[in-house]
Structure 1
């Protein structure tokens, strides 16, 4: 059974704490469903850096997280909540991919630099969670079409290998859809960049 985790953390208590935090952020309707516990346990283990549990789940603490699942299953809310469990040195911010695509239309190629190598005026790259990968479109900037997120992810892979900076991603795309949209190179880099934690494809849409 999933709950038989040998760990010094009380996962049930952590889930209660997260649920209260979720109510604070999203309102009284927020609830963590028991059917989602297997996913939540993995995320808690990862973000608390609970090595023993991560080992059981085959989660590599050096990599980031790729949280995939159908629309409305709660991926974004969870990644926003997990920020509160994360030790300071692993803090990250959540950035919607659609927002990045709009910034690209406005500011062009420096946006790719901003989300990969670090902002132009900040030398250090940061840990980022790219939210809802696949909702942005291929965009034209002065007539040149660019797959902005593909370029950013390839650059993020480079800073992962050189500086160990992690990247987190949420998406409702399957692995084959990622390959279709971003190419084989991006898909194979993402395997090295992230631990895949996936909701069941039949998970309910909690927004309904």
Structure 2
């Protein structure tokens, strides 16, 4: 059986080694990329390097963002953080905690939604900023002057519209499964997520890196 030759300028075996070394520098000498996590790492490398051939072979659409899901402690946040230096400036994600966004809403109100949606452009340009919303689902319901709002749902719905109109890329990390997402944010948002994200999931047997 003939297999398709994938053309790529990158040595992924070497990249994984370098990523692990960088991880040791950032997170300590115990950092290690486990064998079970390598399929996820390969997908993330292909995506953030914008390697079209490998991304296509991995079923990734480079016009969409990354929806990275896995159980608590599997290393979602650390891997996205380590991918940032590999990205071109326009694609480098700004990491922001969903929990911090909920706290900001309680202080300053609905302007926080604009900050991460229609105002999320580089100054004096029409180039949208890439944001990675970390730990979607851990934020608490909050009020601002008695007004309740599902802040992350509103931000993601707005960014979906901006993805359609301005190619605004969004990334998310979460511990939630599809049913929990729908229960928390509603079917309207979940259906749009299918359009704006590449789903990348850790293996359920991936170990807790915090131990």
Structure 2 CA distance for aligned equivalents of residues 46 and 121 of structure 1: 22
Structure 2 CA distance for aligned equivalents of residues 200 and 186 of structure 1: 25
Match of 1:101 in 2: 102
Normalised TM-score (structure 1): 0.93
Alignment RMSD: 1.8
Match of 1:68 in 2: 69
Q: What is the number of equivalent residue pairs in this alignment?
A: 205
C-alpha deviation, 1:119, in angstroms = 5.4
Match of 2:14 in 1: 13
C-alpha deviation, 1:21, in angstroms = 1.3
Match of 1:158 in 2: 161
Given that residues 95 and 131 in structure 2 are in contact (C-alpha distance below 8 angstroms), is that contact kept between their aligned partners in structure 1?
yes
Structure 1 CA distance for aligned equivalents of residues 151 and 88 of structure 2: 30
Normalised TM-score (structure 2): 0.92
C-alpha deviation, 1:94, in angstroms = 0.6
Aligned match for 2:134, one of 123, 131, 136: 131
Given that residues 39 and 197 in structure 1 are in contact (C-alpha distance below 8 angstroms), is that contact kept between their aligned partners in structure 2?
yes
Where do 5+ consecutive residues of structure 2 fail to align? none
Map 1:21-170 to 2 at 5 A.
21-118=22-119, 122=123, 125-170=128-173
Please give the secondary structure, in 2, of the residue aligned with 1:84: helix
Aligned match for 1:174, one of 153, 172, 177: 177
